[in-house]
A = this chain, B = another copy of it.
């Protein structure tokens, strides 16, 4: 290249700034200081107030020595504190680690240790598991309690300081620490981990900025969108929507718990325009008494699922909601693919529309690539809707890598693409469709359950000789774990006993909902043939 366009045209403070979603908070607070940013029950914060609270949080953390490269873990419901954490923590240069609130103590302890958490912000509701985790872990984070006035259930304060007191005692002035470069980590999200321990997925400021903006472009979100938090913010940073809502000067409507009556009430009173969720959330709304939804207008919804059932797509149409199907993984900041709609699909009948809309679709406009690789040749499969391969992504909406796990990182990025582990086809119109999940994962209520993890617990029961856990289709949860168990000769165990055994050793939602007894199909080398179990799970006979 000639240097015509190089010399004297270098980056400087005037023409280069690292991409970060933190600037969106400043934009909304500068331009729309008095508009509602966060609504939670009787608590309502404007964008100016939200920025001030984020600055106080950052001041308080900085004063306690938190800075660049430190981890601050958060175990919280969808409350204002959780939204603020998405800005106040990275403003100090630190990394936000949101933790799944349904995890068991051992897994939480593992995460606090692995992430080297310096601070833990934790909501009272989750104190039983968190208290046990704090006893088990090596880390000794500063513990800050969220005591949400909207939460009136049981639970203890565990920490040195209350979140509101922390804010009240911190200066409102704070100059945020600019990322040294846009590749700097902003957050850390643990996968459920199909084998062994969960993996820590690291996001950077650049990707968080781009996916926040990508949500707006992909969904066509107007300024001042009103977003209802049916999706857990702990899940892939709520698909980056805390940052998206700041970028469009919108409003976050908080929600601690998915409840159809409350959802419809908030839609009506707060003028909700957008929400996201697993199929179970949408099904709840569809099945709710029609009178609950009186006065609710057209709302845009996003669903992520292997294949949203036709009944759900039809049900959403009956509600008058506009449903968009997205797809992604923790490693792609949540959704990085969308089943982008075509006007001509409107002319199809309901099953036809459902079939079109149920596909995983195409890359987000700001993701660089998504295709399906033939696992033998390593080349893209033909767009024939038949040839199965692995779905792969590449581009800026892909994680930095797995924390302290270079081997897993290298494997995931093999050949310059991120390997999703999901198997799919490319249809003739270029849209990707999942054919088979990464074999072992069960997706229940939007949460990943590792079948291996459940089997591991079953194997610990003295009566169990062999166990295979697979997904059973479930109208409410999408999927639930179904266990096939072969008992040791002469041993005895009831279904209830084994389920209870699993609940004792796992987060409750991971325990099998049903147990089928009998000899398991095995290969000649003794491996359990899970594809046969999966087929059985789909047939009524298997599930009695």
Contacts and interface: CB of A to CB of B under 8 A. Distances in A.
Interface stretch (A23-31, A442-450, A516-524): A23-31
Contacts of A510: none
A416 B202 contact: no
Q: Is the interface of A mostly helix, strand, loop or mixed?
A: loop
A465 interface: no
Interface in A287-340: 340
A477 interface: no
A216 interface: yes
A377 interface: no
A32 B247 contact: no
Contact of A365 (B247, B342, B404): B247
Interface in A87-116: 93, 95, 116
A15 B220 contact: no
A396 interface: yes
A31 B362 contact: yes
A31 B24 CA distance: 29
Interface stretch (A1-9, A252-260, A452-460): A1-9
A227 to B, nearest CB: 15
A342 B16 CA distance: 30
Nearest to A11: B183
Interface in A496-519: none
Nearest to A213: B213
A180 interface: yes
A15 B398 contact: yes
A5 B418 contact: no
Given A15-B396, A340-B31, A416-B14, A401 B9 contact: yes
A262 interface: no
A253 to B, nearest CB: 18
Interface of A: 1-17, 19, 23-24, 27, 30-32, 67-71, 93, 95, 116, 180, 183-185, 202, 207, 213, 216-217, 220-223, 247-248, 340, 342, 362-363, 365-366, 368, 393-396, 398-401, 403-406, 409, 412-413, 416-418, 430
13 contacts: A1-B68, A8-B404, A9-B403, A15-B394, A15-B396, A15-B399, A15-B413, A16-B395, A17-B396, A27-B365, A30-B430, A32-B342, A220-B223
Given A5-B185, A13-B417, A27-B363, 16 more contacts: A1-B69, A1-B93, A4-B116, A8-B405, A14-B393, A14-B418, A15-B396, A15-B398, A16-B396, A17-B368, A17-B394, A32-B340, A213-B217, A213-B366, A216-B216, A220-B248
